[in-house]
Each structure stands twice: as C-alpha cells, then as structure tokens.
Chain A
Amino acid sequence: MEIIVNGVTETVPPCTIAELAVAKGLATGALVVELNQQIIKQEQWPSTRLEAGDRLELLSFVGGG
C-alpha cells in the first residue's frame, strides 16, 4: 500500500507505526510521530495500524536557536 512519509509517497507492507519505525531503523527515543495531523504517542505506536493514503510525519528535535 502507499502512504506519504514526510511528504514522500512510499510503498510499505501493512504494518503498525512501531513496525515501520523498526523497519526504518529509527531510534524511538528521539522519534515524534504525527499521523494525519494527529500526534500519536509512543505507547500507541504498536496498536496504530497504517492505512493506504495515510500522511505520516516522522519528526525529531534537533539543534536550533
């Protein structure tokens, strides 16, 4: 299925946010997730299934002034 990750269309197998994060090798401590403009807290990642057409933002805090 196709979803939009950080503005880019990607084809991914059916999965949860937690599974996608692992597949992408993302360190969960730094990750902030927004799904269709809703924040998804880390404890909800294993139970939140992605659906075709979802807009996913994978964010993190970085240095800035």
Chain B
Amino acid sequence: MMDDALHLGNVRFTNRLFTGTGKFAANAQIPKMLAASGSQMITVALRRIDTSARQENILAFIPKEVTLLPNTSGARTAEQAVRIARIAREAGCGDFIKIEVITDMKYLMPDNWETLKATEILAKEGFFVLPYVLPDLPLAKRLENAGAAAVMPLGAPIGTNRGLETKPLLELLIENCTVPIVVDAGIGRPSQAAAAMEMGADAVLVNTAIATAADPEAMGRAFDLAVKAGRAAYLAEMAEESALARASSPLTGFLDA
C-alpha cells in the first residue's frame, strides 16, 4: 500500500481526523475519544486562570504522542494572536498554532485580514501555522505565500453542525492550493466529514460534533471510519455522475423476447 501519510510541519500524520478539547462534559472523556478515533492532533485554548475555581490541567488528559494544536481563540487582532502563539510555544506546547482571530461575535466569522497578518509574522518565527479562515482562494494563496503549513477553511460557522455549506468555495481551495486543506468548523456528522474527504480535503478538524454527542468515544470512532472511507474513495477516484440512467446489467441476450 502506498504511503498516504499527511506531512504537516515536522510531523507525519497517519490519521486525518483532527479533534478539539472544547465542550466535553468531562475531561476524562478526551483520552478515550483520542484512543477510539485515532486522532493524532488536538486543539487546546489558552485562558486566564479563574483563581476562585479549581481547574483541571487539560494537558494532563492528552497522551504525549498526540500533537498539540493550541489555538489563538479570544484574539481580536493579529497582535493578540501573535502574543498567544508565543505564550503557547514558551509554555511547551510545541510549534503548531491554529490562528483564530474573531471580531464578529454573532456568526463567529474568522477575520481573514487579521489572520493573514498573524500568519505572516508567526511563519517567520518558525511556527507551523494553521490559519482558520473563510474559504477565499486569493487569501488562501496569500497564506500559502506567507508560509502557512496548511489552510483551514470553515465548512459552516463554529458549533453549528451544518456541514459543508461552503462546498463550492472549499473545492476551489482544494483544487488550487499546494498546502494541505483542512476543513475546520461546522462539520456535524461523519457523512459530512466523509464528503469533505471525498472532495480531496487533506484532513478535517471536528470538535463540537464529537464532544457534545451522547457518547463522544463512539462518535470519535464513527468520525475516524468516515474520514478513512472518504479518503479511500478520493484516492480510488470516483465514477462520474450521469443525468440519465445507465444500465449496470447488459441490455442484450434476454431469455425471451
């Protein structure tokens, strides 16, 4: 079998499902979900400590072999995103960073302009930058030129579980970008993850749909299967669609005329 690993930064991923640590009912579900899904990359966020509440260390629930992808959520400007990225690296989270800059609190749309500025700065500092963006082809090419390790366009707004609402735009990115395309946000069902992979996405990032399922561990497994199926179908090259029916059995040689 050919080597179908995904190379991002200095890491070789044999699993194309990236996951997130948000919204789990209990942190103890996270290592079980990681084991069931086989996910090798997981996001975390950085926040001020609430000194009045007892907090668990989320990093203690993530096995060492899983790559951490800290995000810059909470940043409203490129400068804030850069600051969070530097803190995350200094704190020992490695060189990967998901740039997430959001100024629109109603739809949680990523601010592509600030995200590009942060990507330019952090890529020069040796980060493996994964910018979370609206799927915009000229922007994606600018991110590529700025040194992004991948581009992560949204399928639908964060946490909506509506799937690939941006499909035609995602297809443009997949078709025209040289860096990997990771569909992030909005994927609510395994079938939607499979659809993204069939289209040729290099990976998907799923958090809400797994974390808020009744059984996150089982849902992690379901997403793993879907991503593998979608990827296998993409590599096998799908047959064409047709407007008219085409018989799959011969139309000659019937028993009786």
Contacts and interface: CB of A to CB of B under 8 A. Distances in A.
Interface of A: 6-7, 24-27, 29-32, 34, 37, 39, 41, 57-65
8 contacts: A29-B60, A30-B57, A39-B87, A58-B51, A59-B47, A60-B46, A61-B44, A65-B20
Interface residues of B, number: 38
Contacts of A62: 21, 44-47, 55, 58
B91 A63 contact: no
Contacts of A59: 46-49, 87, 91
Contacts of B88: 61
Nearest to B51: A24
Given A61-B70, A65-B71, A65-B207, A31 B58 contact: no
Nearest to B27: A63
A33 to B, nearest CB: 9
B124 interface: no
A57 B48 CA distance: 7
Nearest to A57: B48
Contact of B57 (A24, A58, A60): A60
Contacts, number: 98
Given A39-B91, A65-B71, A31 B49 contact: yes
A47 B24 CA distance: 38
Interface string B12-53: 000000001111100100100000000000011111110100
A26 B158 CA distance: 32
Given A39-B91, A41-B90, A65-B71, 15 more contacts: A27-B55, A27-B57, A30-B58, A32-B91, A34-B87, A39-B87, A60-B49, A61-B57, A61-B88, A61-B93, A63-B24, A63-B27, A64-B20, A64-B71, A65-B23
A60 B20 CA distance: 16
B59 interface: yes
Given A58-B49, A58-B51, A64 B90 contact: no
